[in-house]
């Protein structure tokens, strides 16, 4: 749909979806943490919907921008992590799992909202102008939010999926599993940069979860994502 766009046009279409997908993901963690008894993020002003409070120059701007410019592969990024103090929770392991899953669920909600925009924009039949731009942006919003959802559900520390898994594992197993976190970012980077058949290992791992999620949401909304 957007194969004819220039790099500048592509970045313009993706900028808002990427920024809000990444920052609202973090805000969702803080909102749930506050509900469960930890006001750390609130006291530090991190529950604001102002993206500038959450933007990480590298993770929110540089990395997604480079991935878009290079084309292909798996688009992802990150914001400044929202601080959470598990000592303020009544049930630390369970509550940390709930805080963790709030991020991917926020991306699911945003994917649905962007999908609705995509559907409305397509309904106008516009092939150029503002509505065509809105259609492109809606589809981009679906893609980045589904990407972040399936990425963060990976059970690899420090991703959200690992926090959820640690919340359901027996305490001893969770303690041993948590030791992987010191190597988690290194493992994630290796998954991104090591190529397999023309794409990264991470792209291979997340391909089918992404496709199935994208098709499922599109079917639910009654739209053709192509």
Share of the chain above pLDDT 70, in %: 93
Residue-range domain boundaries for the chain = 7-221
- CA–CA distance, 32 with 166 (Å, rounded to integer): 18
Please say if the pLDDT value at position 34 is more than 90. yes
Residue 196 sits at φ, ψ, to 5 deg, of: -140, 115
The active-site residue out of 14, 26, 78, 97 is 26
Q: Which residues are CB-neighbours of 24 under 8 A, at least 6 positions away?
A: 49, 106, 110
Q: What is the pTM of this model?
A: 0.89
Q: What is the pLDDT of residues 140-189, one digit of tens each?
A: 999 999 999 999 999 998 899 999 999 999 999 999 998 998 998 889 88
pLDDT number for residue 37: 96
128 catalytic? Reply is no
pLDDT number for residue 41: 93
Q: What is the dihedral of CA 176, 162, 55, 67, to 10 degrees?
A: 110
Quick one: angle between helices 160-168 and 171-178, nearest 10? 150
Please say if the pLDDT value at position 1 is more than 50. no
Please say if the pLDDT value at position 2 is more than 60. no
pLDDT number for residue 54: 86
Query: What is the rounded average pLDDT for all residues in the chain?
Result: 88
Binned at pLDDT 50, 70 and 90, residue 199 comes out as: confident
Which of 22-36, 50-64, 146-160 is least confident? 50-64
């Amino acid at each position: 749909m957007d194969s004819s766009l220039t790099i500048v046009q592509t970045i313009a279409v993706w900028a808002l979806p990427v920024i809000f997908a990444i920052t609202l993901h973090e805000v969702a963690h803080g909102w749930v943490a506050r509900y469960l008894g930890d006001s750390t993020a609130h006291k530090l002003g991190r529950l604001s919907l102002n993206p500038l409070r959450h933007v990480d120059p590298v993770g929110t701007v540089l990395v997604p921008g480079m991935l878009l410019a290079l084309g292909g592969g798996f688009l992802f990024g990150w914001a400044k992590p929202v601080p959470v103090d598990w000592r303020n929770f009544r049930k630390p392991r369970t509550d940390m799992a709930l805080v963790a899953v709030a991020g991917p669920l926020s991306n699911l909600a945003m994917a649905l909202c962007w999908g609705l925009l995509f559907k409305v924009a397509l309904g106008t039949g516009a092939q150029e102008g503002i509505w065509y731009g809105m259609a492109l942006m809606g589809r981009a919003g679906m893609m980045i939010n589904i990407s972040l959802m399936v990425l963060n559900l990976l059970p690899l520390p420090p991703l959200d999926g690992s926090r959820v898994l640690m919340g359901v594992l027996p305490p001893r197993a969770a303690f041993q599993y948590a030791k992987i976190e010191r190597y988690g970012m290194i493992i994630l980077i290796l998954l991104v940069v090591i190529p397999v058949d023309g794409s990264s290992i991470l792209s291979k791992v997340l391909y089918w979860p992404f496709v199935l999620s994208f098709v499922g949401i599109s079917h639910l909304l009654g739209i053709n994502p192509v």
